[in-house]
Structure 1
């Protein structure tokens, strides 16, 4: 039976005293109101009335390292549009629901808090409900994290369930964003997972190295590099403008731990739903040591229908990418369908 041990040896570093407070400070000082967002990015005050309903439903959150990549005064900036509440969020659209993947209400919902077991060989741990940024199109924007994240005795119960199921060979740290948690906790949890004999891989789904690249600090690199498990880090980048020099350095540092780096993007109307942008994204990712993995067709989440470019648009763009790029740079066009044993490719 794997146990989370409290006596994990401290990591000896020389830079962590400055590294750790920096990313946590950025989290704490994130812009969290429409008014502050408009002031920071020189947006017209006339936009505030339209932002208010969406903000009440799903609050604004964006840290400074992300905001620095946005063109001030441009309401069509592709990074701004990912975090900008719009009046359309208050419109009910048929077929767009609060739990599109049935993670709360469906068969994948777990009796153990914080554990989601959708697929036979993989188990997903909701390490935290916290995120560094609130992406308006998020399929978990209505997810009740206070009821479905690990805490207290839940950690051990989740590990015991994984230990009892020899079919599980991969554990996924998810959330929220698991890297919003302290490295000491993540190191202990990774060590406990590694003690489960039949688990071979650790996968981490995170946006933090992109949103706050300073999150990739010495502590993170040390525990990730030390785990005996094969490790995969799946980042979430939708547009090439998200990758500045700091993000590139963070991604290369993660690759230096021996982790395989993959990217999953969401196809978003008026953000990345054109072939040139997607082609540039794949090329830029590969320069940073990241392979394009998935291009997600839009999940029908309530409040975000205006981001959906439609499946036919998604198929046409993928066909164009196949003509322009080598196969290893073309992400798989998929949709997650509740109750299915794997993500479903969209036939071209």
Structure 2
């Protein structure tokens, strides 16, 4: 009921694991909060199961009182199938803003060429590159981690070769912080 809160984020687990009726109920509950202008839905499910974007889901997005923002989790350009591209086009057609956040993963997308190809492919399909996360160190996945220095070097290279609007922000998740923490790429020198 805080009037300063204007956005709700559906995340954690994957909100699209819920059925459309439940999502509709959630949006109806959100409608009861007058200050909410945007609902952001973070999901990887459409990447692996594009058919999860159903006609009913498209209708509830189109009829929502708030702006719906879908943040996909695509880490490599090869993850963007024709089926996913078709579903993204339908989301955009009903007024959904589509963004992407990726994680930099060793052996998957830790090169300038792969990052640029991902950004280009996303943008071609009208998906805005938004965040590129440094890998969170989690047990059993250390083989995906790359050093901060390498990630910064890759992103500095990408920035010199691609238009700025196509380059996601390099960020890290820090426990207890209210938002993502931007990683300094060391691009600015004092005058």
TM-score, normalization: structure 1? Answer: 0.52
**CA offset digits 1:25-65 (Å, max 9, x no partner):** xxxxxxxxxxxxxxxxxxxxxxxxxxxxxxxxxxxxxxxxx
Give secondary structure in 1 for the equivalent of 2:107. coil
Map residues 232-251 of structure 1 onto 2, 5 A cutoff: 232-251=69-88
Pick one of 241, 263, 269 that aligns with 2:106: 269
Determine the structure 2 residue equivalent to 1:336: 173
- Partners of 2:178 and 2:105 lie apart in 1 by 25
Pairs aligned (count):
185
Is 1:304 aligned to residue 138 of structure 2? no
Which of these residues, 50, 63, 77, is aligned with residue 213 of structure 1? 50
Alignment match of 2:38 (pick from 185, 194, 201): 201
CA RMSD of aligned residues (A): 1.0
Asked if residue 173 in structure 1 is aligned to residue 10 in structure 2, the reply is yes
Listed as ranges, the gaps of 5+ residues in structure 2 are: 186-191
Gaps of 5+ in 1: 1-162
More strand by share: 2
Matched, 1:226 2:75: no
* 1:346 alignment partner in structure 2: 183
**Are 1:257 and 2:94 an aligned pair?**
yes
Contact 1:298 1:310 in 2 (8 A): no
Q: Which residue of 2 aligns with 1:134?
A: none
CA shift at 1:342, angstroms?
Answer: 2.4
* Alpha-carbon distance in structure 2 between the residues aligned to 1:341 and 1:180: 25
* Partner Cα distance (2:179, 2:19) in 1: 31
Give the drift of 1:225.
0.7
TM-score by length of 2: 0.94
Larger radius of gyration: 1
2:167 pairs with 1:293? no
